[in-house]
Chains A and B, each alone.
Chain A
């Protein structure tokens, strides 16, 4: 597949890593903001390719993880109603609320449907005029153009049995919250590539300047992430702190103007609660008043729903890069992907879920490197025993 396969080339990856070793002189802590980037790192095993001393910390860029518990409970309350067809992206189906997840609710008879595109909800609404179709509109800025189009079309075409339950969040305020928190260890950021394809990246200049941190807008394929890491590393080693664009084949500083225009017609910026972090002002989208008839939070009686998070969960500190999953007493025991207690275990990109998938709950005392769990394993080994080899003095660092 063009523009995909070539960004998974092992030879190019090796070159980038060699270049990293050449420029690195000390340890650094980098955060990749986007859940999709975390997913790519885990899926391709990228953090094992990095030189020792470059630590990648997983950020809060997973809309599933940061959707507050009371919003999930509101979604579930609406989904349970008999005259409702509840539509959602696949990601949200397994997120547990206070009492089960959408799959459990489905098993009790509710009509819950997975959609790939928000526009599918228009078709469902037209085909079921006697039902209320509600779409769980989560996401960061990347998904806002699609969700905005749904609200816009519903409004224009007067599809009055369709509404959106909006839980949109924005990246720049989250970065500010991370950087301004005491105990912050993050020194550089891999910025969110697809968010910036929509919004451009001029919002990141003041953040980079105020906190003196490099922010490199990065793509999602392994080569993108490695190149973004290299560019961030170079800035850190040279003492620079600016916004750079690694993902230039897809985006520029301005972003997608038609998308931004429709977003501002449909949504206004307001306060949003972030699971694990708390309320951040001006950090999310809400439907404008003109779209009252398509705003599920106003149409359905869910305003009173408020939920408490389990106290034991430290996902707030994990989302901010201050702690790691194995610092949490519940990691792998009370809290697992099957039984998530908090934001970062809830979706596959969350740091705790990613670590769990690596089997790190089985080895809590060791560091991140998988070699400790699986020494010497390789499909190219013809022997079964791990090899005893003398250390070459030049090879040690």
Chain B
């Protein structure tokens, strides 16, 4: 590996080391795709940086936000797409259909857009029960109504048994960004407060609880929900200045820790969190302890992270708490100038921990 050997020579010569991996020639070592590439962590980032970006790069894509903000004929539109492959397809609190609608609605909402229209493409496995499909579609109808969006076009394919894990759904969405809203990752600034809209880990641990061999009895349910109503309420906070919400992200795969690392890296800022301020349900905490998982890396489907100016943070927080999806919102940390690109956390006990980005999937451990 050329980059690493150069580093070794530099180290011998007493020179400063370049951090491993920052090399002009992207070297992608994996010969085959592994499951970790879909986990949302470092492997996924590698795939994007080394295979997709070099091929497709343009200023909009390079921002790597949850959605693309484009201008057409004077209107600012938010445009996004997402695929849903979750197993099991039905779980406490939702199903793959509900996820497919709200997941895309939320990606649009994170730019401050009003979600309007969705498309849905279905890949069905030969042998899927028609009743199951009916159930999923009905769930999507209800979710679309709840979110106030219309499904305006779609597609269906069927693949051979064994080639499709029952059903895959891809949804693409368009929304319109009104007024002078300018919300994106690169607007994060030192001094911003970080607000989390509620309890973390519910969705990921619900899915985990359904996995063979890891079952546990609990009241944990997926938190899958459309967030644009909450965002609208936040934007409506009374204020003498505009643009007080700098960044919105929904911490899905990879959890809060991965999303905050993305913000820190893309905006080149440091982040400091207070572990005591982060809301986690007892049941999620118990499940995580038993399996050796960290709630900060577990997926959420109905939560958002907001970076808000210091002056407006408390007022926005109060506004969020009036909304059903923001009742448990809390300020969990702030953006700082020091250690750009790194996320630190003051632990319960008073120590300091670096919250690194997740590598592949988070795995239950015995050690």
Which residue of the partner chain, among B11, B19, B289, B347, contacts A44 with CB atoms under 8 Å? B347
Interface residues contributed by chain B, number (CB under 8 Å): 59
Contact check, A10 vs B348: say whether CB atoms are below 8 A apart: yes
Known: A1-B282, A91-B366. A104 touches B289 (CB 8 A): no
Cβ of A33 under 8 Å from chain B:
no
Interface centre among A4, A89, A223, A379 (most CB of B within 10 A): A379
Contact check, B32 vs A333: say whether CB atoms are below 8 A apart: no
Contact check, B213 vs A374: say whether CB atoms are below 8 A apart: no
Contact check, A384 vs B337: say whether CB atoms are below 8 A apart: yes
Query: Hey, what's the 0/1 contact readout for B317-337 against A, CB within 8 Å counting as 1?
Result: 000000000000000011011
Residues of chain B within 8 A of A185, CB atoms compared: none
Contact check, A384 vs B191: say whether CB atoms are below 8 A apart: yes
CA A337 – CA B42 in complex, angstroms? 11
Contact check, A338 vs B347: say whether CB atoms are below 8 A apart: no
5 shortest interchain CB distances as A-B pairs: A45-B351, A90-B363, A379-B274, A333-B7, A45-B352
Residue of A nearest to B332 (CB): A379
CA A328 – CA B27 in complex, angstroms? 24
Contact check, A103 vs B351: say whether CB atoms are below 8 A apart: no
- B340-354 residues with Cβ-Cβ distance < 8 A to A are 342, 344, 346-354
Contact check, B350 vs A106: say whether CB atoms are below 8 A apart: no
Contact check, B367 vs A64: say whether CB atoms are below 8 A apart: yes
Contact check, A338 vs B348: say whether CB atoms are below 8 A apart: no
Could you list 14 examples of A-B contacts with CB < 8 Å?
A: A9-B349, A36-B367, A49-B351, A90-B366, A107-B33, A114-B213, A114-B364, A116-B364, A117-B213, A333-B8, A377-B272, A377-B338, A381-B336, A384-B190
Residues of chain B within 8 A of A349, CB atoms compared: 367
Cβ of A84 under 8 Å from chain B:
no
Which residue of the partner chain, among B19, B36, B333, B359, contacts A361 with CB atoms under 8 Å? B19
Residue of B nearest to A333 (CB): B7
Nearest CB in chain B: distance from A93 CB, A? 6
Contact check, B360 vs A373: say whether CB atoms are below 8 A apart: no
Residue of B nearest to A370 (CB): B352
Interface centre among B33, B351, B367 (most CB of A within 10 A): B367
Cβ of B141 under 8 Å from chain A:
no
Residues of chain A within 8 A of B5, CB atoms compared: 334
Residue of A nearest to B8 (CB): A333
Residues of chain B within 8 A of A253, CB atoms compared: none
Nearest CB in chain B: distance from A323 CB, A? 16
Residues of chain B within 8 A of A234, CB atoms compared: none
Query: Hey, what's the 0/1 contact readout for B246-278 against A, CB within 8 Å counting as 1?
Result: 000000000000000000000000101110010
Nearest CB in chain B: distance from A368 CB, A? 12
Which residue of the partner chain, among A36, A45, A377, contacts B336 with CB atoms under 8 Å? A377
| Further 11 A-B residue pairs, CB within 8 A, beyond A10-B350, A357-B356, A381-B334 | A90-B363, A90-B364, A103-B35, A107-B33, A114-B363, A334-B5, A361-B20, A374-B344, A379-B274, A379-B277, A384-B336
CA A373 – CA B342 in complex, angstroms? 10
- A78-122 residues with Cβ-Cβ distance < 8 A to B are 89-91, 93-94, 103-104, 106-108, 113-117, 120
CA A374 – CA B350 in complex, angstroms? 15
Residues of chain B within 8 A of A373, CB atoms compared: 339, 342
CA A97 – CA B214 in complex, angstroms? 27
Known: A1-B289, A374-B270. A8 touches B32 (CB 8 A): no
CA A1 – CA B281 in complex, angstroms? 11
Residues of chain A within 8 A of B349, CB atoms compared: 8-10, 13, 44-46, 49, 222-223
Contact check, A43 vs B347: say whether CB atoms are below 8 A apart: yes
Query: Hey, what's the 0/1 contact readout for A320-361 against B, CB within 8 Å counting as 1?
Result: 000000000110111011110000000111000000011101
Contact check, A63 vs B354: say whether CB atoms are below 8 A apart: no
CA A374 – CA B355 in complex, angstroms? 13
Cβ of B291 under 8 Å from chain A:
yes
Which residue of the partner chain, among B42, B285, B339, contacts A374 with CB atoms under 8 Å? B339
Interface centre among A123, A332, A364, A381 (most CB of B within 10 A): A332
CA A386 – CA B272 in complex, angstroms? 14
CA A182 – CA B190 in complex, angstroms? 50
CA A375 – CA B352 in complex, angstroms? 12
Cβ of A378 under 8 Å from chain B:
yes
Instruction: Spell out A's residues near B (CB within 8 Å).
Output: 1, 4, 8-10, 13-14, 35-36, 39, 42-49, 62-64, 89-91, 93-94, 103-104, 106-108, 113-117, 120, 123, 139, 143, 222-223, 329-330, 332-334, 336-339, 347-349, 357-359, 361-362, 364, 370, 373-379, 381, 384-386
Cβ of B17 under 8 Å from chain A:
yes
Residues of chain A within 8 A of B292, CB atoms compared: 90
Residues of chain A within 8 A of B350, CB atoms compared: 10, 13-14, 45, 49
Contact check, B32 vs A35: say whether CB atoms are below 8 A apart: no
Residues of chain A within 8 A of B8, CB atoms compared: 329-330, 333-334
Cβ of B12 under 8 Å from chain A:
yes
Residues of chain B within 8 A of A47, CB atoms compared: 351
Nearest CB in chain B: distance from A82 CB, A? 16
Residues of chain B within 8 A of A106, CB atoms compared: 34-35
CA A362 – CA B20 in complex, angstroms? 9
Contact check, A46 vs B351: say whether CB atoms are below 8 A apart: yes
Residue of A nearest to B334 (CB): A379
Which residue of the partner chain, among B20, B286, B337, contacts A333 with CB atoms under 8 Å? B20
Cβ of B123 under 8 Å from chain A:
no
Contact check, B34 vs A377: say whether CB atoms are below 8 A apart: no
Known: A44-B347, A359-B342, A374-B338. A333 touches B17 (CB 8 A): yes
Which residue of the partner chain, among A44, A329, A361, contacts B348 with CB atoms under 8 Å? A44
Residues of chain B within 8 A of A222, CB atoms compared: 348-349, 351
CA A358 – CA B347 in complex, angstroms? 14
Contact check, A103 vs B272: say whether CB atoms are below 8 A apart: no
Nearest CB in chain B: distance from A13 CB, A? 5
Which residue of the partner chain, among B4, B34, B338, contacts A104 with CB atoms under 8 Å? B34
Which residue of the partner chain, among A104, A120, A223, A330, contacts B32 with CB atoms under 8 Å? A104
Query: Hey, what's the 0/1 contact readout for B198-216 against A, CB within 8 Å counting as 1?
Result: 0000000000000001100
Residue of B nearest to A332 (CB): B20
Residues of chain B within 8 A of A358, CB atoms compared: 354
Cβ of B1 under 8 Å from chain A:
yes
Nearest CB in chain B: distance from A108 CB, A? 7
Contact check, B360 vs A103: say whether CB atoms are below 8 A apart: yes
